Structure 1
């Protein structure tokens, strides 16, 4: 599996998301309760950046219509979104966060 450096761990908010682009793919790197996750940074309902929304209870909320997605699975936890967003494997090496665009 091929991993690409997405950002530094120190760049991530303690509870929040950072928008990055890997090989032309928008990715939201999210930290929740000390864990780091990565998912496609596009809401499956309205096609806006999820990284601009709130992060809480292992979810990221789309700021436009309020759909929340589980950061671990990409599955929507409430409407109006009904389709999941892709999630990606993450590994941490030192202060570097690496993401593989192979869906997990």
Structure 2
């Protein structure tokens, strides 16, 4: 038996296997009864909003050394790493 014959036999067996699985799946399910009974997934969340810590600081009038900027660019991140304002674990090439 050559490699081509082996590959063709293997391809034929896989094809028959997957065709049999598709036919089995079609025979198992009734596709005609989908009108009256729908399977629908719904989520109900009973979550109450929580006041954040930042809102409490702003409302109380206390000044903090931490500012909420919403993020920094990559260049600013490297600058902060050089100033050792940001703790990093691995070495960073500049």
Name the structure where strand makes up a greater proportion of residues: 1
Report the TM-score when normalising by structure 2.
0.19
Report the TM-score when normalising by structure 1.
0.18
Name the structure where helix makes up a greater proportion of residues: 2
Q: Which has the larger radius of gyration?
A: 2
